[in-house]
Amino acid sequence: MRYRVHIDRLVLTGLPLSERDALTVGRAVEAELGRLLRGAASPTPAPTMPWAGDIARSIHRSVDRAVNRGR
């Protein structure tokens, strides 16, 4: 079974991010979320944005709950 996840906008309230930082966060979250959805074991390095993994894991939990509710 394949799923496609499209996130149009990620709003991070209260974080003072420059435009460049926002792009970095977006890429890091995308990479980590992809890893989680594929079930890979090792985390994607995101040294400049360590909390990007937390964001991705939160999104992953929400997607997982939604998918499992539909079964």
pTM over 0.75: no
The pLDDT score that the predictor gives to residue 71 is 63
Surface-to-core class of residue 52, CB atoms within 10 Å of its CB (0-12 exposed, 13-18 middle, 19+ buried): buried
Q: 14-65 pLDDT, tens per residue?
A: 878 888 888 888 888 888 888 888 886 665 555 556 778 888 888 888 888 8
The pLDDT score that the predictor gives to residue 63 is 83
- For 46, the token pair is 């995101």
CA 45 to chain centre: 13
